[in-house]
Chains A and B, each alone.
Chain A
Amino acid sequence: MLASFVAFAITSAARLLTGARALWLGCTAQPVQRLYYANHSSHGDFVLLWASLPDELRRTTRPVAGADYWQKGGLRSFLINQVFNGVLVDRDRSSPEHNPLQPMLDALGQGDSLIIFPEGTRNLGDDPLLPFKSGLYHLAKANPQVEVIPVWIANLNRVMPKGRALPLPLLCTLSFGAPLERLADEDKAAFLERARNALLALAPEEA
């Protein structure tokens, strides 16, 4: 009850502040199992992406987040576990025998959709996109039935720059691209390169 109220408050605030507009360019907002992958420049990224999905899709779409940041207890734990129903990953690989992708594979196995940021960390530089980590490849390969959808989040890095507390009320758009084609026998590097280019192709031209 409290969790769904908080979720409503957060999604409304995110939309009000940024006028978040979803552009479904290459696919439509349908309840299909999907792996949304997006550029990552702000802590607000997954909140905005999650908020821009229709209710029906949002219920089964779970953001993937770093356990080191979110599992610190208190408010953060409540938000990520109860409100966002997030999937936490161990970025530090504290136990070497444990597969860090396992929680995501489990979630996909249950039929949930995921929101992941293949850059692995927030991009704070001038490059539009950092190199991708390999997780996206392994998840996609193990789940050929899941649509892999690139989503470019524009402008949010200006709304919430790193280390600033007060958000700026600028307009953000989220461009949802076409599902990545599945090619047999494609190696990891080629797949990641193709995924990266598909995401970059959705970015608006910079000034």
Chain B
Amino acid sequence: MDRNTLLLFAGIGAVLLLASLVGFILKRRAGDTPNSVIDNLNARINAWWVMVLVIGTAFLFGNTGVIVLFYGVSFYALREFMTLTPTRRSDYPALVAAFYFALPVQYLLIGIDWYGMFSIFIPVYLFLLLPILASLGGDTTRFLERASKVQWGLMIAVYCISAVPALLTLDIPGYEGRNLLLIAWLVIVVQLSDVLQYVCGKLAGKHKIAPLLSPSKTVEGFVGGVALATLVGALLCWITPFSFWQAAALALLVNLLGFAGGLVMSAIKRDRGVKDWGHMIEGHGGMLDRLDSVCFAAPIFFHVVRYWWA
């Protein structure tokens, strides 16, 4: 790891340490009375420690480590998506293709840096292959709906998430060998935006933005969270190839997309009648609950950076 990366992780460690301290003091003050908000906060902070440790370990192994990490992330996200949106018996070949073909091949294509293929592999080739496989079973019940579910799951859980490690393939003049930091910047800004929206909402939230979709999202939380995360993104411009104002504009872009991602993914959850996508991360729900904003921000960020900087 170079000096900037170490500095960055030290900074994240300091923020988490502060958060843990605050959580500890709140818990002490609450005493014996059980408080679900404080308990959830502490569960979230602990989960953040684990997540930062996992990402840090992947960074130690360089590009390969990050690609393997996001392969795992996509796998868990895809499994949550397919579990929550049931398919029928004759979708089996399509699901096998999704888990055992599309997922590894997409990450392999990113690993070998074949942009022309990994950018269209799922949206074009799998878009055609999956319904072909599904039709072989001869079951026409809700065919269009089933075909869309598998395709959508692949787009969200594999294509969109794989845009994060795909940032490693970009050749940005003057930024050689530092692409890992670009990933760190994107993940920090988008996740921080989620956290700050939550915090601002809890402190000052009054007006609900979309009560039917997500009762906890408020105008105050949205404005405060996005503004603060955009500011942090701009202040972190020293780890990116962007100038201060470019970093601010890109941070605003990914924050708005991240917010929209949260709304869309929560619409799917409401439709299926559940609160969380899964149960793998204590205090956060499932993998997709943590990554809904990244899913929407990453592919657009990738293409914008590729178009203007690479």
Which residues of A150-168 are within 8 A (CB) of B? 155, 157-158, 161, 164, 166, 168
B273 proximal to A (CB < 8 A): yes
> CA of A164 to CA of B95 in the docked complex: distance in angstroms?
12
The stretch of B85-93, B169-177, B201-209, B246-254 that contacts the partner chain = B85-93
At the interface, yes or no: A21 with Cβ under 8 Å from chain B?
Answer: yes
Would you give the shortest CB distance from A12 to chain B, in whole angstroms? 17
A21 CA to B96 CA, complexed, in Å? 22
How many Å from the CB of A166 to the closest CB on chain B? 6
**Complex Cα gap A205–B279 (Å):** 19
Knowing A21-B279, A205-B273, A207-B272, say if A168 contacts B92 (CB, 8 Å). yes
State whether the Cβ of B100 lies closer than 8 Å to any Cβ in chain A.
Answer: yes
Encoded as 1 (CB less than 8 Å from any B CB) or 0, chain A from 164 to 195 comes to: 10101111000000000000000000000000
Q: Among B79, B95, B100, B273, point to the contact of A19 (Cβ < 8 A).
A: B79
Q: Are A206 and B96 in contact, with the CB atoms below 8 A? A: no
The answer to whether B75 touches A169, judged by C-beta atoms less than 8 angstroms apart, is yes
How far apart are the CA atoms of A207 and B272 in the complex, in Å? 8
Establish whether residues A206 and B79, one from each chain, have CB atoms under 8 Å apart when the complex forms. Answer: no
Residue from A19, A161, A205, A206 within 8 A of B92 (CB atoms): A161
Is there an interface contact between A158 and B75, defined as CB atoms closer than 8 Å? no
Question: Does the CB pair B272–A155 fall under 8 Å?
Answer: no
Asked if B292 lies at the interface with its beta carbon under 8 angstroms from chain A, I say no
* Cβ of B281 under 8 Å from chain A: no
* Residues of chain B within 8 A of A21, CB atoms compared: 279
Categorize the interface residue count of chain B: 10 to 19
Q: SS class of chain A's interface: helix, strand, loop or mixed?
A: loop
Write the nearest CB–CB distance from B119 to chain A, whole angstroms: 26
Contact in complex: A158, B279 (CB < 8 Å): no
CB distance from B285 to the nearest CB of A (A): 13
Contact B92 A155 (CB under 8 A): no
A166 to B96, CA, bound (A): 8
A171 to B92, CA, bound (A): 15
Contact of A168 among B85, B95, B278 (CB under 8 A): B95
Q: Are A206 and B86 in contact (CB under 8 A)?
A: yes
Quick one: closest B residue to A207, CB to CB? Answer: B86
Write out, one digit per residue, whether chain B residues 25-37 have a CB within 8 A of any chain A CB (1) or not (0).
Answer: 0000000000000
Cross-chain contact A169 with B99 (CB below 8 angstroms): yes
Residues of B near A19 (CB, < 8 A) are 79, 278, 280
Nearest CB of A to B130, in Å: 14
> With A161-B89, A166-B100 in contact, is A155–B83 under 8 Å at CB?
yes
Instruction: Given A161-B92, A206-B86, verify A171-B278 contact (CB < 8 Å).
Output: yes
Interchain CB contact under 8 A, B279 and A207:
no
Task: Point out the residues of chain B lying under 8 angstroms from A158, CB to CB.
Answer: 86-87, 95
Please pick, from A161, A166, A171, the residue contacting B83 in the complex, using a CB distance under 8 A.
Answer: A171
Question: Could you say which residues of chain B place their CB within 8 Å of the CB of A166?
Answer: 96, 100
**A207 and B85 contact, Cβ closer than 8 Å, known pairs A164-B92, A166-B100:** yes
Give residues 143-169 of B contacting A (CB, 8 Å).
Answer: none
Assess the A170–B82 pair: CB atoms within 8 A: yes
Which chain B residues numbered 184 to 214 have a C-beta less than 8 Å away from chain A? none
Encode A135-147 as 1/0 by CB contact (under 8 A) with B.
Answer: 0000000000000
Report B136 CB to chain A, min CB distance, Å: 13
Residues of B within 8 A of A207 (CB): 85-86, 272
Which residues from chain B contact A206 at a C-beta distance below 8 Å?
A: 86
CA distance A166 to B82 in the complex (A): 16
19 A-B residue contacts at CB 8 Å? Answer: A19-B79, A19-B278, A21-B279, A158-B87, A161-B92, A166-B96, A168-B92, A168-B95, A168-B96, A169-B75, A169-B79, A169-B99, A170-B79, A170-B83, A171-B79, A171-B80, A171-B278, A206-B86, A207-B272
By Cβ-Cβ distance, the 9 closest A-B pairs, closest first, are A171-B83, A207-B86, A170-B83, A168-B95, A161-B92, A169-B79, A161-B89, A170-B82, A164-B92
Q: CB within 8 Å of A: which residues of B?
A: 75, 79-80, 82-83, 85-87, 89, 92, 95-96, 99-100, 272-273, 278-280
Other A-B pairs, 7, CB within 8 Å; known A19-B280, A155-B83, A168-B82: A158-B87, A166-B96, A168-B95, A169-B99, A170-B82, A171-B83, A207-B272
